[in-house]
Amino acid sequence: MNKLPGKITQMQQSGAVLLVDVDVDGQGFSALLIEPAARPEWLQAGHTVHLVFKETEVSLAKNLSGLISMRNRMMCNVSKVERGELLSKITLHFRGHSITSAITTRAVDSLQIAIGDEVEAMVKANEISLMNSI
């Protein structure tokens, strides 16, 4: 499981749907949450939280151009590639944090991912959860 520390900068709500913006070391992220009527006390602007997301939810791109709907985008450097027969684990360096992506080995080959490469890691807002950091 990937975990990044950040601070809630703002929130927007419509019914039970909550869009939470979080700053992680100067980079903005968004998490789309479905919240019960009683929102946790810590879920408010200014509070420190952890963004949490699965390795299988991290998509990778090289030389991405054009528009894309994924708002959570991180420029990373590849620090490790663990090739499996079908699935490979890619370890990335993002602003002093380690991020892991699990993608098909076919995708690794297609993108020609190697240690030292710069890649863009992307996660959809609805795939990010928030945890109280305290």
User: For residue 119, what pLDDT band results from cuts at 50, 70 and 90?
Assistant: very high
**Contact assessment for residue 18 and residue 32, using Cβ atoms and an 8 Å cutoff:** yes
> Is 24 strand, coil or helix?
strand
Determine the pLDDT at residue 65. Answer: 87
133 against 82, higher pLDDT: 82
Q: Is the pTM of this model over 0.75?
A: yes
Q: What is the pLDDT of residues 66-86, one digit of tens each?
A: 889 998 999 999 999 999 999
Residue labelled with tokens 């890691």: 121
Structurally, what CATH architecture does the domain formed by 2-132 represent? Beta Barrel (2.40)
Contacts of 95 (CB under 8 A, 6+ apart): 24, 25, 26, 27, 74
Q: Which of the residue ranges 58-67, 74-83, 96-105, 110-119 would you say has the lowest mean pLDDT?
A: 58-67
Domain ranges across the chain = 2-132
- Which residues on neighbouring strands pair with residue 100, listed in sequence order? 91
What are 96's two structure tokens? 């002093």
